[in-house]
Amino acid sequence: MARHLITSALPYINGIKHLGNMVGSMLPADVYARYLRQTGHDVLYICATDEHGTPAELAAKEAGLPVDTFCSEQHLAQKAIYDGFALRFDYFGRSSSAENRDLTQHFARRLQANGFIEERAIRQVYSLADERFLPDRYIVGTCPHCGYDKARGDQCENCTRVLDPTDLIDPRSAISGSSALEVRETKHLFLLQSKLAGEVEAWIDEVGGEWPTLASSIARKWLTEGLQDRAITRDLEWGVPVPADTWPELAADGKVFYVWFDAPIEYIGSTKEWADAAPDGETRDWKSWWYEADDVRYTEFMAKDNVPFHTVMFPATQLGTREPWKKVDYVKAFNWLTYYGGKFSTSQRRGIFTDAALDLLPADYWRYFLIANAPESDDTSFTWEVFSSSVNKDLADTLGNFVNRVLSFSRKRFGDDVPAGSAAGEAEAKLGEQIAGLLAEYEGHLDTLQFRKAAAALRALWSAGNSYLEEKAPWMEIKTDPDGAALTLRTAMNLIHLYAVVSEPFIPSSSAAMRSAFALPDDNRTWVSQDEAKSLSFLAPGIPFTVPPVLFAKITDEDLEAYRERFGGNPDTAE
């Protein structure tokens, strides 16, 4: 059985992330990691804050803090939110760590030794007002491809095209806003991607056929357009320094590595942080996950704008070291979650941000909705109307109401223990077959990372319980056949326990509440086999139970109006 290494795109340090960022990387990775752990796999889920680069410096400047202090505070703030969403990282590191610094410098030295890094004199934008060279993200202007007037010097946020600062129309300094710019000569290191293009293409030919179309098409588009040599150093105060033992002149000039060079290496760096943070008496082997790791299956989660760097630039970096570093096996790429048709944006504060979401409603509401509506094949538009409908119908009515009415009715008529009743009959056998089939479907979609389909199968599992309850109608059955009604309720309670186990990847807190309703001190079940699902007999008669508080409160029309007023969103203009 393969070990599973999972990474999600590193959330950037310059502010709290929005829901689009959550659903495009960390949340589906968490759902997948939870499912694999529950089904007995050895899993390592690694993430970190991405802390270097221009936006970190600009955000720290705006906050009036030293950049290292700003990043430390933001790392803790983001980690608290991810804990609130119940994201179970095995380790959540920092790209500013010593481990990442050492590994990044190692990668650079290896690339240099193998002839894949070249020092070049280039002409770079210099700001007269700021008296410094401007890294590409310190320059903003109009994109020559789509006309977006806030494009950065490295990439247009609107159309995702990779840019050079000199491509921008009407460029200006992001620090001072000054357009008093001139071009001067300076030296930087270039990664010779053009020399590695053939190897990258051969690698994608080998593994990319399994990737979703979104990921493979973006990677191949870059290859078709031709890999260009890219500068991998910048003029910044904050970043992994160029090592003086290899490039003394550039080190003396204070050059640091480009954030997109060191950030993917942080996946490895964060794994080493995890190993270094092992408690006393425990030894963790970080290298076996990344170096000569033939028994590891590596899955990456990211939004589509991150795909080129993970499928082309980072693999080129790994290949160029001539060392056996583990490369990704499967890239799960997502389109964008939009907010009433407009893009969620950290920089423009458009949409719902993760801290506000947790202040508003429990994490499970968001986890379920986001995965059930994950932008897998196309961009998905968030609207409050769709959100409330999903919460009310799926969570409150289909699952929450089933749990409450089964346990409440059974306690009222049979007391606080699971009732015995008669032996299972034809209806229970039919239900068991249905549940086993739906469970197989659910597992299949999670195995293949089809999250919307997995959510639909999970919803169908919940609905099957309601259909069974309506068919058997224990509130009527008890009048003529008390033992039959007890059987119906016992079977329904077994469904509740099954739901608690298999729903955990989606709604972990609610699953724990369902599971804790039953007094099972030795309940260490991690998953339910299809044979067990057929029998629906895990809960024996006589087991005590309690009725948990309401699992999901419905979103009212008044709530909906308050949400629209606070966050914006007009149903008349929704796309």
Alpha-carbon gap, residue 21 to 28, rounded angstroms: 11
Contact 262, 95 (CB under 8 A): yes
Pick from 268, 230, 236: nearest CA to 104? 268
- Find the DSSP H helices in 448-546: 451-472, 474-480, 482-502, 508-516, 530-535
Structure-token pair, residue 29:
């990775």
Alpha-carbon gap, residue 370 to 169, rounded angstroms: 37
Exposed, middle or buried by CB within 10 Å (0-12, 13-18, 19+), for 195? middle
Alpha-carbon gap, residue 543 to 559, rounded angstroms: 39
Size (the chain), residues: 575
Alpha-carbon gap, residue 111 to 88, rounded angstroms: 34
* Helices then strands, each counted (H, E), the chain: 22, 17
Backbone angles phi, psi at 48, to 5 degrees: -170, 165
Contact 551, 510 (CB under 8 A): yes
Q: Per DSSP, what are the bridge partners of residue 531?
A: none
Structure-token pair, residue 156:
């247009």
Q: Per DSSP, what are the bridge partners of residue 303?
A: 334
Structure-token pair, residue 349:
């504060």
**Is the C-alpha dihedral spanning 194, 195, 201, 203 positive or negative?**
negative
Residues at the binding site are 143, 146, 156, 159, 346
Q: What amino acid occupies position 67?
A: V
Residues at the binding site for ATP are 346
Residues at the binding site for Zn(2+) are 143, 146, 156, 159
Exposed, middle or buried by CB within 10 Å (0-12, 13-18, 19+), for 19? buried
Strands 256-257 and 233-234 turn out to be antiparallel
